[in-house]
Amino acid sequence: MINALVIGIDATTRLSHEELSVDELATYFSNRVVAGPGAFFEIAVSLDDCEQAMIFKLLRELELIGLSRLSQ
């Protein structure tokens, strides 16, 4: 399983067309990066949101590990 943490900016705050919005990055990650049963990605709209999104991602991954061990 490959999970991801998408860190980007809101489309309304882009400084140029070269910057990808969170929506564009989420679509890319969903189609090209995230893979496997139960795979997911968390989104941080800015660097300020990064810490919380990383915590959510880590907790979700640890939960999946715990559930897979219980099913063995």
The pTM score is 0.74
Tens-place pLDDT, residues 20-51? 888 889 999 999 999 998 899 999 988 789 99
Q: Is 71 helix (H, G, I), strand (E, B) or coil?
A: coil
Per DSSP (E only), the strands in 1-72 are 4-7, 41-44
Confidence of residue 8 (pLDDT cuts 50, 70, 90): confident
Q: How far apart are CA 32 and CA 29, in angstroms?
A: 5
